[in-house]
Structure 1
């Protein structure tokens, strides 16, 4: 037989089990809600990052459009042609400046050649006057080897 104290304990235990199950159910709901909130926070952060990225990309596109607004390939080509033309003019000016000025003296090329030949002849005469004998041309290697072989064979 069941005693009344035994029944009371059983009733209290059953109530505690029900309360435990209720708390576990509530805990599971809270954990699920927390996971849902964390997923939403992550989604919002991603959406904000995407929105900021799009704003930055739009501003970049607008900046490029503003920069390129007054440009087209024909204008760029025309500008490059002007730069090349000015560089050619600059080179012509540099060439003109670097060429020596004759100062009104006309020099005959034939006369310069004759003077050069005279100077070379003078230099050759000076060298010959100081020499004790006429210079002998150096023998090339093959002739030297041939003479050495002949000398060895004569021994």
Structure 2
């Protein structure tokens, strides 16, 4: 009894289990007694039936013993019912106690988890998270919207394409042999062009000299 009033923690914890064990031992003993009484009743009934015609005193004594056994059997059956109810009550009470203790521990754990946590702090944390998310979105947008390097001039692209096209035309003409005169002259080295120009100037000077000579003879 002391364990139920705060003394002996382990004894208090084991009290329901020990009580159930004791009750089950008593229940087992009563059930054995019940079977024994039923056997005795059947035996006395057999004796009474056997001697009912030949020896009524023996038959009557057997019936008297059978009635006593019936009375004992009724008491034993009632005790069995009481024991079973006690076992059920203790088991139910122990389950309720353990359930309540588990709920109490859960409440303590939740208090520990929520210690120092308020609705205002939760709202503040959520606002900070939303703010940081917005900043991150702005950074991503800024990075993805900024082009790397100088913009490409479309006129440069057009000029480069024209040069490439002219090179292809020149190459085709050289391969077929249909090169324009201007192109052939343009393809000559600069020194050759100078020699041609020098020869033309010398010939013109000679012609002028011959014309001057003819005029003098005519005069």
Q: TM-score range by the shorter chain?
A: 0.5 to 0.7
Q: Which moved more, 1:94-103 or 1:63-72?
A: 94-103
Quick one: which of 124, 137, 140 aligns to 1:94?
140
Which aligned runs of 4 or more in structure 1 are off by greater than 4 angstroms?
102-105
| 2:64 corresponds to 1:21 | no
Paired positions, count: 100
| 2:78 corresponds to 1:32 | yes
CA drift of 1:88 comes to: 1.3
In the alignment, what sits opposite 1:74?
120
User: Equivalents in 2 of 1:78, 1:48: separation in Å?
Assistant: 45
Instruction: Provide structure 1 residue ranges, at least 5 long, that are not aligned to the other structure.
Output: 1-8, 106-111, 116-155
CA drift of 1:87 comes to: 0.8
Higher helix share: 2
CA drift of 1:68 comes to: 1.0
Please give the secondary structure, in 2, of the residue aligned with 1:71: coil
CA drift of 1:32 comes to: 0.8
In the alignment, what sits opposite 1:85?
131
User: Equivalents in 2 of 1:72, 1:41: separation in Å?
Assistant: 47
Closer, same or farther: CA 44–102 of 1 in aligned 2, 3 Å: closer
Instruction: Provide structure 2 residue ranges, at least 5 long, that are not aligned to the other structure.
Output: 1-54, 156-219
In the alignment, what sits opposite 1:151?
none
| Deviation digits for residues 16-55 of structure 1 (CA, Å, limit 9, x no counterpart) | 2221111100011111111111111111111111111111
Bigger CA radius of gyration? 2
Larger RCO (CA within 8 A; separation ≥ 6): 2
Please give the secondary structure, in 1, of the residue aligned with 2:124: helix
User: Equivalents in 1 of 2:78, 2:108: separation in Å?
Assistant: 45
Question: TM-score, with normalisation over the residues of structure 1?
Answer: 0.57
What's the C-alpha RMSD, in Å, of the aligned pairs? 2.3
Question: TM-score, with normalisation over the residues of structure 2?
Answer: 0.41
| 2:83 corresponds to 1:50 | no
Quick one: which of 59, 75, 85 aligns to 2:105?
59
